[in-house]
Homo-oligomer: A and B are copies of this chain.
Amino acid sequence: MSLTRISATEASAAIAAGKLSSEALIAECLERIGQREQEVRAWAFIDPKLALEQARQRDREPARSRLHGIPIGVKDVIDTCDMPTEYGSPIYRGHRPVCDAACVAQARELGAVILGKTVSTEFATRHPNKTRNPCNIEHTPGGSSSGSAAAVADGMVPIAFGTQTSSSIIRPAAFCGVIGYKPTFGLINRAGLKFLAESLDTIGTLTRTIPDAALIVEELSGMPATSFDEVSLLEPRIGFCRTPYWDQADAGTQANLQSAVDRLAAAGAKVGEVTLPDEFAALAETQIIVSAYEFFRALTHERTRFPQLISASLTERIAAGGRVSRAGYEESRGLAQTARKQVADVFRDYDVLVAPSAPGEAPRGLESTGNPIFGLMWTLLRLPCLTLPHGVGPHGLPLGLQVVGRRGEDAHLFVHAEWIRRRLDE
């Protein structure tokens, strides 16, 4: 297998067995980046010498963890002490934090090599940045974890950190055809993340395999390693959840999901159609109210000192946040709290839910990062979500299938998502 398509899990085993060096792996990543970056524009910062130097250092040491020697991309809203961190905003041009974010420092402690910073949209909101979809550079990669999704999809790095407040991991992963994983809220420590909406912001990953998503969250959080050995023995109970926003999915996406679910049923899954409580139809709007109230506060320094350096679309969203009253915010938080309790019932008969990842394939053009609608509710509910590539859209671009797990049961999500992936790949 080409080193630009190897998974972190495979690379880790090869490094542990002495069959691969971190240096060789990272040299391949850098070569791929050299070939493709001009088109894809996935990186906000990369320092090949620094990366290779750290790889050679790792190669001289005993393995510290399963992440030893593995290159990782870091979304540019997460602080790094040896690389600039610009939060996707001209306000922070050249900014260099003094301290690594917790997830970065932990990855380094565990032997990983931070390969570089991946492009974020403006403060991880919707306003696009320079990245293009590696599947077709005329199309958006999605956002806000644009660079992380594009870099992983294009074979530039096996793992990248992303963040999700609305749909910022799931959407770009689906658009670029990779695994996007948003953990249960709070599973990866957020110290050193530039906050946008603190009750929602979640650090997660972009990878090319489901075991890689498991690998990194396990190492950072101390979760036991998930065994994928008995995935084929599972008898999953899958809830097909069209969500209240089904009409916003295009016909191809609807048909793709329906046929996937039919195939999973034929492959032995017990599949049922999930009807969410009526109140869940309001959850997308609820997420928008909660996040806007928090944006307005979290970005006070920027909006008061540098209003001219904030995009028009973010300026409008911040202003909307300023108009949300505390009572309105608390009402929305209350709705979210109630829905978090109700959703336990939804899962009573199911191991996981299957839902759309995005309304369709990546839209053409770079002016928009696409519609986040299919992430909002799940982020607000704080459930673990994983998108896997399945099917293609009318322009031949990847479509995603979102698998949603019970809160705190990320390992259960991983094995069931892997069962689904294998059945759909057959």
Contacts and interface: CB of A to CB of B under 8 A. Distances in A.
A365 interface: no
Copies in the complex: 2
B190 A195 contact: yes
A195 B186 contact: no
A393 interface: no
B301 A105 contact: yes
A294 B329 contact: no
A191 B77 CA distance: 13
Contacts of A101: 301
Contacts of A92: 98
B330 A408 contact: yes
Interface string A66-99: 0000000000000001000000000010010011
Contact of A81 (B99, B297, B301): B301
Contacts of A106: 297, 300
Nearest to A298: B191
A102 B296 CA distance: 9
Nearest to A222: B326
Contacts of A100: 300-301
A49 B327 CA distance: 40
Interface residues of A, number: 43
B326 A223 contact: yes
A109 B326 contact: no
Contacts of A224: 326-327
Given A95-B98, A297-B106, A300-B100, A329 B191 contact: no
A380 to B, nearest CB: 15
A191 B105 contact: no
A13 to B, nearest CB: 23
Interface string A408-420: 1000000000000
Interface in A105-122: 105-106, 108-109
A99 B222 contact: no
A189 B298 contact: yes
A308 interface: no
Nearest to A189: B297
Contacts of A325: 222
A315 interface: no
A198 B195 CA distance: 12
A92 to B, nearest CB: 7
Contacts of A198: 186, 189-191
Contacts of A293: 222
A183 to B, nearest CB: 12
A219 to B, nearest CB: 11
Interface in A273-316: 293-294, 297-302, 304
A199 interface: yes
A221 interface: yes
A299 B192 CA distance: 10
A406 to B, nearest CB: 13
A297 B293 CA distance: 28
B326 A221 contact: yes
Given A189-B294, A191-B297, A191-B299, 12 more contacts: A99-B301, A102-B297, A102-B299, A105-B300, A186-B198, A189-B298, A190-B198, A192-B195, A222-B293, A222-B324, A222-B325, A224-B327
6 contacts: A102-B297, A104-B301, A108-B304, A186-B199, A189-B298, A191-B198
